Structure 1
Amino acid sequence: MTKNNEVLHPVWRELLAGLPASGLVTLIGGGGKTSLMYYLVAGLKAAGTVAFAATTAKLFMQEGAGHRTVLVGSLAEFRRAVGELRSCPAMVTVARGLVDGAQRKLAGLAPEWLDTLAGECPAIRFIVEGDGSAGLPLKGHLPHDPVVPAATRLLIPVIGAEAVGQPLAACCVHRPARAAELTGAAEGEIITADTVAKLLLHPKGYLHNCPPEARVVPLINKAEGAAMRTAEDLAATVLAARHPAVGGVVVGSIRRQEFSFIRK
């Protein structure tokens, strides 16, 4: 495992290189999703690939040097912005507008716009955040989410390793009642690797709205120190379910830029 602030780790280079030209990457879940989005965009740009961050959900605006946010109100405006900013050195995030001007929270794009642009601009990579998790490592999805564009060919559910061993409660699960409903666990019960795997692979959970052509590669994040064993055990539990769309699991740390790929 090597760390480099400008070059993507080989695990992500291989996964992204295997995508079809017009395929989107959509990130869902919690425990580091936004950080992963910007890490992937930065690495792609450093390698000479035109890449944009985008969202179909609510997202806090990134501000400061090196970040630029573009708000578009129509497909035509989105198309124009992508054409004008494809050479922009900054990290560009495209969204539909502001949800809350005081909090600088962005509203998501229509997924159909992303499908259209992905088809029209196969040389461009769009890394899309497809849901929110209130900053928590695990989530119970409702029928309206995640919002995954149909052109998604790599779906990355992100889970924070620290969820295992914690209670299935609002302290570490976004919508714990829904997570309990989907897994058959009781609210307040201690979360196990089996609990997480059931939620991750449930067709109405993380994989709700997953396009049939998409490859699913979960990331178990924050696998640092003692949490590494927890993350590896969780990866083994997920792979043991032998879900046809899941060919492997990434275990690692976005903060440290250290990753390993555990194959089925």
Structure 2
Amino acid sequence: MYLFKKLGLKKEEVISIVGGGGKTTTLFILADELRNLNKRVLVTTTTAIFSPKEEEYDYYFLGKLEYFTPKEGSITIFGNRIEEGKLKGPSSIEIEEIVEKNIFDFILIEADGSKGKPIKAPNDYEPVIPKCTTKTIGVIGLDSFEKRIDHIVHRPEKFIEITNSNYSDTIDADIIIKLIFHPEGLFKEARGEKILLLNKASNQYYSFKGNEIRNKLLEKGFKGSVLVSDIKTKKFY
């Protein structure tokens, strides 16, 4: 199954991705699918991401995107500079200016960082989601289940405050649901349609837990879509 179909994408979208649990992988899998559909795709960040591999893009720009028209079926990487091996992104205003140029069909933005952790709470200054965003994807890694908060969470001090938990508590469905619903949680500053991606459902246990969360969210009136998936293998449950 293709991710772009599950996301219900329209002809043109600005998609911001937040959370943990495989944001960058999700970003580039989606970009590659759209490139194969002959779309012009921009991949960028409002924070920082590891510089991508050469096979993951067709164009790579630092600084300004002036006098440039991408070919159909291409991925363009855009950032301001490279710092400590990471691509530092443009401001939200710069991204909005790029949208106005109308040279890309899809703009995909990694809008916060997680230090490789599967689950996180946002800091005071994040995420950075441009106003032009049409969909916000919040990612949580199901491999965080039954792991201690102080071992598995990025920004645990914010996390325990948001979820009313303790450092020694282990991640369960109720804690994840608190993170999703809290205004300072996973979907803080979200714009457009909310899509929750419960990722890394790599075995029966994780897929079961993902569906448990989905059912509880629907019961509680979550206003958005919920996908249970193992993005690397493109399996959805």
Q: Distance in 1 between matches of 2:58 and 2:86?
A: 14
In the alignment, the residues of structure 2 paired with residue 208 and residue 122 of structure 1 have an alpha-carbon distance, to the nearest angstrom, of 29
Task: Determine the structure 1 residue equivalent to 2:211.
Answer: 232
User: What amino acid does structure 2 have at the position aligned with 1:48?
Assistant: N
Q: Distance in 1 between matches of 2:187 and 2:74?
A: 32
Structure 2 distance, partners of 1:235, 1:88, is 37
Please report how far the alpha carbon of residue 88 of structure 1 lies from its aligned counterpart in structure 2 after TM superposition.
Answer: 7.5
Does residue 219 of structure 1 match 2:203? no
Change (3 A) 1:14 1:220: closer
Q: Deviations over 1:80-121 (max 9, x none)?
A: 3xx34x117664321111122xxx111121111212222331
Partner of 1:6: none
Determine the C-alpha separation between the residues in 1 that align with 2:221 and 2:17: 21
Post-superposition shift, 1:140?
1.3
TM-score (norm 1): 0.82
- Preserved contact between residue 32 and residue 56 of structure 2 (Cα < 8 Å): no
Cα distance in structure 1, aligned partners of 2:55 and 2:222: 42
Question: What's the counterpart of residue 87 of structure 1?
Answer: 71
Number of matched residues? 236
RMSD: 2.0
User: Contact 2:15/2:133 (CA < 8 Å) preserved in 1?
Assistant: yes
1:131 and 1:94 map into 2 onto residues whose CA distance is 16
> What does 1:56-135 align with in structure 2 at a 5 Å threshold?
56-67=46-57, 70-73=60-63, 77-80=64-67, 83-84=68-69, 86-87=70-71, 91-100=75-84, 104-121=85-102, 124-135=105-116
In the alignment, structure 2 segments of 5+ residues that lack a partner are none
1:1-264 equivalent positions in 2, closer than 5 A: 2=1, 9=2, 12-13=4-5, 15-18=7-10, 21=12, 23-67=13-57, 70-73=60-63, 77-80=64-67, 83-84=68-69, 86-87=70-71, 91-100=75-84, 104-121=85-102, 124-169=105-150, 171-211=151-191, 214-225=192-203, 226-244=205-223, 246=224, 248-260=225-237
Distance in 2 separating the partners of 1:235 and 1:137 = 18
Question: How far did 1:203 drift?
Answer: 1.0
Q: Which runs of 4+ in 1 moved over 3 A?
A: 64-69, 88-91
Deviation at 1:14, TM superposition (A): 5.3
What is the CA–CA distance in structure 2 between the aligned matches of 1:224 and 1:68, rounded to whole Å? Answer: 31
The change in CA–CA distance for 1:128 and 1:16 in structure 2 (over 3 A counts) is farther
Q: Equivalent residue of 1:228, what SS?
A: helix
Q: Which amino acid aligns with 1:17?
A: L
Structure 1 unaligned regions, length at least 5: 3-8
User: In structure 2, what residue type is equivalent to 1:96?
Assistant: N
CA–CA separation in structure 2 for the residues paired with 1:140 and 1:146: 10
Give me the identity figure in percent: 23
**Contact 1:25–1:153 at 8 Å: present in 2 too?**
yes
Cα 1:167/1:14, change in 2 over 3 Å: closer
CA distance change for structure 1 residues 143 and 69 in 2, over 3 Å: closer, same or farther?
A: farther
TM-score, structure 2 as length reference: 0.91
